[in-house]
Structure 1
Amino acid sequence: PRHAYRISAEISIYVHQDARGRGLGRRLAEYMCAQAPALGIRNIIAVIFAHNTPSIRLFSSLGFSEWGRLPQVCDMETFIADVVILGRQVEG
């Protein structure tokens, strides 16, 4: 059934380049993770370009770990990129 996925959610955060480096992405991610238990979410998944080390570092610092990798699935025009799937189980 469709409701089978109701315990999992995907998180995406896009911060304008002029606002990066100020902790906004961290605050947004922390807020979203804190809301998950009340929504019945047990797993949070982040899908990130493998070359986006700042984003991977951010999510890793929030307890996310690599749950999977999709090799060479994105055409970035100047190179073909992998995607990393990071996940975190929610306590609550």
Structure 2
Amino acid sequence: MLICDAEERDLDGITAIYNHAVAHTTAIWNDAQVDLPNRRAWLKARREAGHPVLVARAEDGTVAGYASFGDWRAFDGYRHTVEHSVYVRADLRGGGIGLALMQALIARARSAGKHAMVAGIEAGNAGSLRLHERLGFERAGVLREVGTKFGQWLDLVFMTRRLDDRPGPGTGGTS
């Protein structure tokens, strides 16, 4: 398995993983699936914002999973914090792909001078919650019934992880 920056050739795989999650899970709180032009525009926007999109490629070159991060919130005071997402192809979950993607994504966030990473995880997604705990994320709180999908209310668990030990934002990185 190879973890690398996403390329145009990866968009079919990314689209398929995203659409499977939309159709079959509560990991993505969207009801509509997307097409290739949508994912192409998404990848372009991520790149223009300076945010990574990583893929895990299987030995046969197919996309086994992907991960990215973006701004946590649009206000200046949050510029050291990112929120991420990570998705693994359904038939490959539980095999360490999510862990490898997240380790690479955390390294990218650190090299970009970020201080904290946030995860928003549907409360019933035990696998994702365990993965994030294994990576050192801590539960920060639960927002009850803030989303809906498949005719049910969904709770959102927020988890956070510090990426460095800087004593202040103006020390050892970007200010």
Same fold judged by TM-score > 0.5? yes
RMSD: 1.6
Residues 8-38 of structure 1 show CA distances to partners (whole Å, capped at 9, x for unaligned) of: 0001101120221221100000111112222
| Aligned: 1:90 with 2:163 | yes
| Aligned: 1:56 with 2:129 | yes
TM-score where L is the length of structure 2: 0.49
Distance in 1 between the 2:76 and 2:111 partners? 17
Alignment of 1:69-80 (within 5 A): 69-80=142-153
Based on CA coordinates, which of the two structures has the bigger radius of gyration?
2
Distance in 1 between the 2:150 and 2:95 partners? 29
TM-score where L is the length of structure 1: 0.90
SS in 1 for 2:155: strand
Kindly, what percent of the aligned residue pairs are identical? 34
Residues 30-88 of structure 1 show CA distances to partners (whole Å, capped at 9, x for unaligned) of: 11111222211000000000000100000001100111211011212242110000000
Q: Which is bigger in relative contact order (C-alpha 8 A, separation at least 6)? A: 1
Structure 1 residue 3 displacement after superposition: 2.8
Give 1:24's aligned residue: 97
List alignment gaps of at least 5 residues for structure 2: 1-73, 166-175
List alignment gaps of at least 5 residues for structure 1: none
SS in 1 for 2:104: helix
